[in-house]
């Protein structure tokens, strides 16, 4: 009897000890931010990922199991309400009091990148003005198609923040601070993990700068406008984008414009994405010397994990170098 009581007491103490140090329930939206959250939380807990597939966040629809995850979450880590449009309303309706950690307020680091970012925006603003003027001269049907291309896209605000390691570092530091505030029992572990991850991200940034320097002047075109932060960080020569709204097929007029751009800018490569059909890119390069490549801005084809972010960034770099140097 005494032995049984002692065993019961020991079991209860172990259970209470485990509960006391339980990490908060964290839900993440896409694999890149999930990877950063996993690395910070390593040893304390594991986040639940919503989009664990190749599917684009631009086209994603919540499943019932996703809704339950959101409802049960203590923390949700995502990019912004302009990236995961499906998530903003879901949080408001399912869990309005949840701690929401986003990349929305991250800024481009001060220095040359700031200047380049402003110049980039001015150029886009000028192009948009000319493009809008040109649209008014077209037939009504073409105007409608081009309106669809522009719908839901903002040239002056690229929300793909994670493609700049400097923004990833800012998110890691934010995660460390917020998780430590609500889970002080694991604060030292979050701090240790975060500091180690920041060092890895600094090394990654240094390696990418070195690797991409060899192709910085070679012009290329991407499928959709997701790479502004990456291009600015590494001073690359992105000549244009195929579609301005990834959830819609580009109009015939838009495709003709891109075809002209390929020749005018002497583009070497055009990159499709696994989240979208590649037929458009195949049509564009037919009969031209332009080569086709593949970029995956969310690493959707890769397994989730603490090393996902670094692998994804290196894969983007390697794809660019392989195609542009071929």
For the chain, the domains span 112-163+203-324
Is 0.85 surpassed by the pTM of this model?
A: no
Distance (Å, whole) CA 171 – CA 164: 11
Q: Is the pLDDT of residue 127 over 60?
A: no
Dihedral sign for Cα atoms in the order 69, 73, 77, 82: positive
Q: Is 88 helix (H, G, I), strand (E, B) or coil?
A: helix
Q: Is 222 helix (H, G, I), strand (E, B) or coil?
A: strand
Residues 35-88 have pLDDT tens digits of 999 999 999 999 999 999 998 898 899 999 999 999 999 999 999 999 999 999
CATH number for the segment(s) 112-163+203-324: 3.40.50.1980
Do the beta carbons of residue 60 and residue 51 sit within 8 Å?
yes
- List of E strands, 129-237: 220-224
Which distant-in-sequence residues (6+ apart) come within 8 Å of 6 by Cβ?
none
Mean residue pLDDT across the chain:
83
């Amino acid at each position: 009897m005494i032995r049984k009581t002692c065993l019961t007491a020991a079991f209860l103490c172990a259970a209470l000890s485990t509960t006391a140090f339980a990490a908060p329930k964290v839900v993440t939206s896409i694999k890149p931010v999930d990877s950063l959250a996993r690395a910070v939380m390593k040893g304390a807990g594991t986040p639940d990922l919503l989009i664990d597939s190749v599917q684009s966040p631009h086209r994603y629809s919540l499943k019932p199991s996703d809704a339950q995850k959101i409802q049960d979450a203590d923390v949700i880590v995502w990019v912004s309400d302009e990236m995961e449009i499906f998530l903003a309303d879901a949080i408001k309706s399912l869990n309005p009091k949840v701690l929401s950690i986003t990349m929305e307020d991250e800024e481009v680091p001060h220095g040359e990148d700031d200047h380049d970012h402003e110049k980039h925006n001015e150029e886009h603003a000028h192009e948009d003005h000319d493009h809008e003027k040109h649209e008014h001269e077209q037939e009504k049907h073409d105007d409608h198609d081009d309106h669809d291309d522009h719908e839901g896209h903002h040239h002056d605000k690229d929300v793909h923040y994670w493609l700049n390691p400097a923004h990833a570092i800012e998110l890691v530091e934010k995660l460390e601070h917020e998780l430590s505030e609500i889970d002080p029992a694991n604060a030292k572990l979050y701090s240790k993990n975060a500091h180690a991850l920041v060092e890895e991200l600094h090394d990654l940034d240094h390696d990418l700068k070195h690797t991409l320097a060899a192709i910085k002047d070679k012009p290329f075109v991407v499928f959709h406008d997701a790479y502004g932060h990456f291009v600015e960080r590494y001073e690359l020569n992105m000549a244009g984008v195929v579609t301005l709204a990834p959830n819609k097929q580009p109009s015939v007029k838009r495709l003709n414009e891109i075809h002209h751009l390929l020749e005018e800018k002497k583009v070497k490569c055009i990159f499709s994405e696994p989240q979208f059909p590649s037929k458009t890119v195949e049509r564009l390069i037919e009969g031209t010397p332009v080569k086709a490549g593949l970029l995956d801005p969310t690493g959707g084809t890769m397994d989730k994990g603490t090393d996902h972010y670094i692998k994804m960034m290196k894969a983007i770099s390697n794809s660019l170098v392989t195609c542009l140097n071929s």
